């Protein structure tokens, strides 16, 4: 239940950021307008994806700190991913 509230809050913040940029208002004003409203499914999906990606990156970073021999392998994987993307 706590995780659901966190995901919803992240989605709300993404939504407020989008509204503030697209409508030319401040972030705080956008948050006031959507504070008590339910956040739509696309924003929840985006929040879940962002959280998952952040968790993966943090876990990878923690592995690099605790196991330096993985740093070389991770650099190789990142280099391959960048070359495939271009």
Q: What pLDDT, in 10s, does the model give residues 1-50?
A: 577 889 999 999 999 999 999 999 999 999 998 887 788 999 999 999 99
User: CA 23 → CA 17, 18, 26, 32, 69, distances in Å?
Assistant: 10, 8, 9, 14, 48
Give the SS3 label for residue 31.
helix
pLDDT: which is higher, 16 or 79:
16
The answer to whether 47 and 11 are in contact (CB under 8 A) is yes
Q: Which domain holds residue 21?
A: 2-85
Q: How many domains does the chain have?
A: 1
Question: Residue range 41-62: average pLDDT?
Answer: 91
Tokens of 63: 């592995």
The pTM of this model reads 0.65
Angle between helices 41-66 and 2-23 (to 10 degrees): 110
């Amino acid at each position: 239940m706590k995780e659901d509230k966190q995901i919803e809050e992240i989605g709300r913040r993404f939504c407020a950021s989008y509204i503030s940029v697209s409508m030319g208002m401040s972030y705080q004003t956008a948050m006031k307008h959507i504070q008590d409203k339910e956040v739509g499914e696309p924003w929840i999906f985006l929040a879940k994806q962002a959280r998952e990606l952040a968790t993966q990156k943090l876990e990878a970073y923690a592995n690099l700190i605790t196991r330096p021999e993985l740093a070389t392998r991770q650099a190789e994987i990142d280099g391959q991913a960048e070359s495939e993307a271009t």
